[in-house]
Structure 1
Amino acid sequence: MKLKLEQSNRLVSLALYVGSMFLLMEWVYPLDIITDTGQSHLFIVFIVVMFALSMIHLPFGLISVIKAGILLLFIHHVFFDTAFFSTEWVKLFFEEMVINVQESIQQNWQTLTPVFRTFLFLILLWMLSYLLYYWYVVVKRPLAFIFLTVLYVTVLDTFTVYEANIAIIRVFSLSALLLVLANFHRIVESERLTEPKARQFIKWLAPMILVIGISAAIGYAAPKYEPQWPDPVSFIQSASENGFGSGAGFGGVQRVGYGEHDDRLGGGFQMDNTTVFYATSSAERYWKVETKDVYTGHGWERSSEGERIASETGQFPEISQYGDVVAREESSLDLQMIEPGNLNKVPYIYGTEQVGTTNDQINFEYDLITNELLSLDNGEQTLVEDDYSLEANRPDFPRNAMREVPVSYQEDSGIDESYLQLPDELPDRVSNLAGMIVSEEDQNRYDYAKAIEDYFSEGDYEYATDDVAVPDEDEDYVDQFLFETQRGYCDNFSTSMVVLLRSLDIPARWAKGFTGGDRAFEQDAFPDAGSDVFEVQNNNAHSWVEVYFPDVGWVPFEPTIGFQNQVDVSTGESIDDILDDNQDDALDQPESSEQPDADSQLEEGEEEEGNDSEAAGSNGDSSVSPWIVISISVIIVIIVGLLIYYRDRLVYAWRKQRLKRRANQATITESYQFVMKLLAKKGYPFKSGETLREYAKQADRILDGRSMSELTHYYEQFIYREDSFQSDQSEYYRLWKKVTDLILSK
């Protein structure tokens, strides 16, 4: 069905449709904050383009082809480096779709790649632009979508980090205006009034806009009562299955947060949203605090108290000891401690080389064994309230170099054999499971580690924070989790991965600290940092795995279900290498690491983007210049604008060719109705109760002749009397072309 804009209410319809577009944008704005979606501004551009194309009123088939082409262009811009619609691009895109359709049929939703998720999301936006056209322009019923938008924004404001103070004002103001316009339309329809001209319409609408604006301003600025009921969110969060246990449990329920006692792991915990610190960062990063190396069968201990080094300047290049094959990126960060609680060490990101503070009394030490960064005031370990500053060269770990490392531990690798330690009582089935997991992998350390990292998400394991078992004295913590409960949180997953790796003779250790936290838009710690501030709570306490690769260093891995690796991992190849190997990769795609399956595409995208983007439209190339995006967007808007401006002439040219090639009842009816639409746009619509001949005479007065009456005579003969049209086709075509040219010239 082709939706038609009512000519008698074009201004109202246009205003309603544009308003619905801005309401739809309110659904997209929060995605950057509440999800790991990146480049959401492209979704905004896509919405504008879809809505603009819907207003052109080209034939449904033609407009669908144009929209589909633009959708594919967006997908190509975000994800592909090959030429658009080239043979290589079509092949890659087709393979991507086939793989994801197969995964969808098997209900493997977590393995869907970012390309496919973005493709589905863009189709959803396309469909919404069409549905909103129907709801707002055709039937003029905006209330349902307004209600859903208000509900969506308020729920996000209540249960997520999204601050919707301004969004609520925008939604309220726009919704009130849309309801006013819809009511105006009903009055015009019921009273059979003629829609006012644009200038009169604006004069009528201006007081409404003023009243709505004043009401919104008063509502925003007026004093407000404090909450009258206890906040239910904290309770809901504490009962939800999200978070981390600090590992001090003896079977009882703990409160989540950083803790030093990890010798007895297990047991559930309660959520705690206390803010530990604020940090400036462009993206989420692991905040490392320490590592432990001795697994006891029930938890973690240290083989020694470590080896501390001091630095008067705060420079510790030892923190960032990576091989020459590791690319580095400079980064400066600041931390402001709020309520550190049990935390008495300075959290830092991977690649940190220098730490400082505004307090001259503070000195720093770093432990080479436990990886703890300590701040001391007159020799006493403490965390001051002053800001901490970090200078780092963030590592970009090269996948190809890590794949060259043999699986087994080498004595000359530069690390102690203690990172292979396992308790003598460890059940044999644990090492047997490790061998089974990697049995089909290439024999290199990286692929073995990735196979074990992925194993937990592919099985029947469940992430949970309550009813988590604590092993008895004669039970092993990892064995119980792997073969009996298969239920737990990050301590269970990370400890199990370290043990599985060590059973394969791969050096690994247990790391703990915090995940990157959530973006904080309203905070006093760094008021000038904008959106590049993260709030790290006790809820963000976390543990993960580090694997050693000679000539690379200690590399983090993330086995916990629902969490993503927050360091950068790239192929490690130069542009020249990629170009040289491109042809070989194309021939070897089924087995080559450069053409991964759906699982590896998802994980590699997450690693390389550093967790900046993961949902629909997420894993785009972050190196694309914003000016390119802006230029493409401007070009698209200009093209759409020209199409709207010359819409009638484009449709005229298409109708003319169609009528000339095939003059039948369908094309003649369409051509005559097209003339009526053009006249309606000029202010002379067909009135109810009026005959075609009366309408034609009125049109002839505008056109200064009798062409419309003659055209109507031929049209009536063919439509109503079904006379043969063979001899009069050329005359009808001549008259129709003459009338149309006259109207378009007015």
Structure 2
Amino acid sequence: MRLRNTESNKWVNIALYIGSMLLMMEWVLPLEQVTDTGGTHLFLIYIVFCFALTLFYLPTWLTPILKLTGLLVFLKFIFYESSFFSILWVGELFTDLQLSIQAVFSQSWVELTPVFRTFLFLVLLWMMSYLLYYWLVVVKRPFSFILITFIYITALDTFTLYEAQFAIVRVFIISALILVLANLHRMMDQENLKVPNPRRMAKFVAPMILVIMVSAAIGYVAPKFEPQWPDPVSFIQAASQDGFGSGSGSGEGLNRVGYGEHDDRLGGGFIMDDTTVFYASADSPEYWKVETKDVYTGHGWVRKDEGEPTTNESGHFPQISNYGENVERNETEAELQFVEPGNLNKLPYLYGTETVEASVEGVSFKYNHMTGELVSLVNGEQELIDDSYFLEAERPDFPRDQMKQVPAKHEENDEIAERYLQLPDDLPERISDLAEEIVEDVEDNRFDYAMAIEDYFDENDFEYATTDVAIPDDDEDYVEQFLFDTQRGYCDNYSTSMVVLLRSLDIPARWAKGFTGGESVFQQDALPDDGGNIFEVQNNNAHSWVEVYFPDVGWVPFEPTVGFNNQADFSTEESSEDSLDEEMEDDPLEQPDDLEQPDVDDQLDDGSGESEEDTALVGSDDSNFSMLYFTAILIGVFLISWLMYRSRNQMVANWKQQKLKRKPSSKNITNSYQFLLKLLAKEGYQFQSGETLREFALKVDQTLGNKQMSQLTHYYERFVYREEDLQSENEQFYQLWRNLTKDILSK
């Protein structure tokens, strides 16, 4: 095995062989982290030794002798302390090999000695050096080995603790250089071209090296999207424990997103599923309730009893809207059209629903006041029809001031206390201690206690995540693990934890589940005659939240999950008629002092609207990089900065979109609306002096061919100038703003 070739292509072969050696090292580097193998640097030395022997013009018979001698030297250095020239270690070596060979024949694999396993691994490295010589130098076909190397590195990064971000960059650079040289040499052989001397070859290859380095640097420093696929580890765990397609909350492992019957074993991640469950025509995106559960087991939710449902052919159930007389109501209507309900066999409904009807005859309805379940019956069987359902509701406006008058430990009637203050006997004491700590400095009333616990998760760096979510052991409490160990999860983790914390403070609470309001859509076939305000509710919108009991008010929803907003309406006795002064009314674009924000032009010019987190590097430890990598990164940073400057409008839009979704305050709403005006001005839609916002919006709508700008302006005036509390309509404003911004930037 030698690199004896003509002088013209000798240097190409050497470069290919060195590249194969570097790729081979990438196979060995992770072993110390993913196995109990120690001293991996010694294996790297042996790889260099084997590859180096090939680079020298040695006789064919001498090379294997030297490699075998090197193998024995390494075994002696690792396992034996006696002198190299002592016969003792040789005898011990042969004894170990003999015992291990006997274990192989008897298939007693656990009895293989470390010496024998190391011997086999060194022989494997020896053989690989020969195979790589043949693949890369003789036949110039390196792609298969490169592909296998990428698969190996990515598999280790996915299924083990090995962090491969630097390894991927190194493998990419080395592989790209190998492919360039291999294809260049093959092309010259096919065309019978003379390979240039090393100096000219360097001039030819240098631009390719520069392109590869810059590409690698850009790939490394560029902002990364969150994982678009679910964690395969969680998926495999779920497959091995519960099988596939077990539904939401069916046990340990993976929970497919969407509505499911079984919640007795919560935990683990789930797969995002954008299958449409139903379309809804409603005034605004609101939570769709399906059911409640009352018994926390330490691992999930079950029911104390199923209650006695009430059947009504007319579909009139005033007990759904069983709120106190002091709760104001707002009439609203909704229409549902199911598409692919999947495991869902119950009717989602709005808070305050009183009447439900079907668009076809022969459908009756049944409501269970104890479980909150509303179902439709066809010929006496529980079934969802393919036609529409119509809902009439009296949306509640919960009185904040009256709820604050309820003491935190108000004495409840026996039915409420027995069912909705239940906790497991073995609930860890530190959960109750944490609840007391959260409300230590809060006014002693039920509403403020609930708000303090709702805000606790957002204020203490809890992370919303749907993958890599922990699965509690049989002897581990689900809430305790989330609150004190992981602080990472999705709605089930947050809502269950809030219910348990409330109950530990003697506040009645229960677990509710259903769907969030969904996304506004403008083109769909399910409800073609309903015009605007059509919302698509997918399996991704399956959700759980909390309901807290207030005497003389009823069950009030709360939303503890990070990144979600409570869509319930809370009213106060304070006047909401305060508006801006006359000068503000004269100039519709001027803002009050307390709503002042930085000028959008400044953000567009200097790019300050981009969050540092969005452009942070994946890792910060660059000790593994040589000066060449560092230079490549500098070039990449320059190119990225140039690209960021070119796409600054899009980045600022993304930044404002995130702020608007996370915290739809008056300041963020005003800021986002002004940014939209700036974008329109850059596209030629200039706001004229003396022109009202509504006139300007109508002009924009005529050009764009829709009514979105007028609708957005209507919400903006209500939010900012009238200072109305339109928390339930924040999502509608967000959707309109996002769609308009997307349309303008795409032009």
* TM-score bracket relative to the smaller structure: 0.3 to 0.5
Give TM-score scaled by structure 1 length. Answer: 0.46
Higher RCO (Cα < 8 Å, 6 or more apart): 1
Give TM-score scaled by structure 2 length. Answer: 0.46
